[in-house]
Copies of this chain bind each other. A is one copy, B any other.
Amino acid sequence: MSELRQNIATREWVIISTERAKRPSDLVDESRVRTDTRPIYSEKCPFCTGNEAMTSEPTLVKSRGDFSVRVVPNKFPALTADRPPLRIGDDHHRAITGFGIHDVVIEGGTHNRTLALMSVEELEVYLDALRERSLQLARLKEIQYVICFKNHGVSAGASLEHPHSQIIGLPILPNLLRARMSDAMAYFEQEGCCVYCRMWRDETACGVRLIAESDLFASFIPYAALSPFHCWILPRLHHSQFFRISDEEITDLARILKETLARIYYGLNDPDFNILFRMAPTYMGQLPWFHWYISLVPKVNRAAGFELGSGMFINPALPEASAQFLRQVKLPGEHVTLPPIASLIG
């Protein structure tokens, strides 16, 4: 018997399909060529150390020791800051000139690394760069929304192999976020608390969907996960925007991000994935009812007509079983950054 589940924060329904059920291990593609088997340097790669002349001047550089994260303008930007955002068209053809910022975040100069294999210190540098650059964009009065994301692998939309993320500053609020904001506000009005704070308490108390837990963050498969191994990294401290977090939170987030990504890398054999940072619009301050978080979506199955048509997903994996699978992945010692989740959960 399958089950329909609803995420209380996003109000999205998902079909957890046991008729099509797959064991977590059935979703692992053993034929994948892992990132660490690539060459360490590629002559043609604009992001490798030594090839810096192939990109524009960085807008931001963060370094620790030999490791540097460089933020550079995207060579093929979806939006540019040449002209201010102007309403064009008419009432029924609403348009704005394509104002915006589109940056690439180069995650170090080594071609065959990936976030999962970096040290906690390197991930701190990475997160620090994302935080600082998104804050810079958020301060531009024309920017209404900042999205930080990463495409890892071809099926996740990456067009370059070298590990990198992207930051886009938009002059409008996407419709999806408008709906999320209004749902979160409605929850707050009815229940008197932030729905994301509530979810943090529930998931850490219950534990069956946890992947890892640190002082300040929980990494878990949501009750109504949209796809197998879809996970959220949810902060304990209530901030509406990622770029408001403290250095202490950056350090803690680096640990849990590393452990989560390493469990996916080793457990699922380096699948393609997307990482998204969801947050409130830049023009809003600290909102009592909205909470930033990271959504991490491994690409182990494919969305099709049903998903496009309904906006709903069919997930062939039980979130509780997927979480247990990831908790039990054996990690090489250097990738264990957090104490194990109490054995009673499994």
Contacts and interface: CB of A to CB of B under 8 A. Distances in A.
A34 interface: no
B276 A1 contact: no
A157 B304 contact: yes
Instruction: Give the interface size class of chain A.
Output: 35 or more
Interface of A is mostly: mixed
A212 interface: no
A309 interface: yes
B98 A158 contact: no
A202 B92 contact: yes
A247 B100 CA distance: 49
A94 interface: yes
Interface in A139-191: 145, 147, 149-151, 155-158, 166, 168, 170-172, 174-177, 179
Q: How many copies does the complex hold?
A: 2
Contacts of A23: none
Given A94-B6, A157-B302, A276 B150 contact: no
A95 B5 contact: yes
Contact of A157 (B10, B13, B176, B305): B305
A314 interface: yes
21 contacts: A1-B83, A3-B95, A3-B98, A4-B79, A4-B97, A4-B171, A8-B94, A12-B175, A15-B100, A17-B98, A19-B76, A20-B78, A93-B202, A149-B309, A151-B304, A157-B302, A175-B312, A176-B312, A177-B310, A179-B179, A276-B305
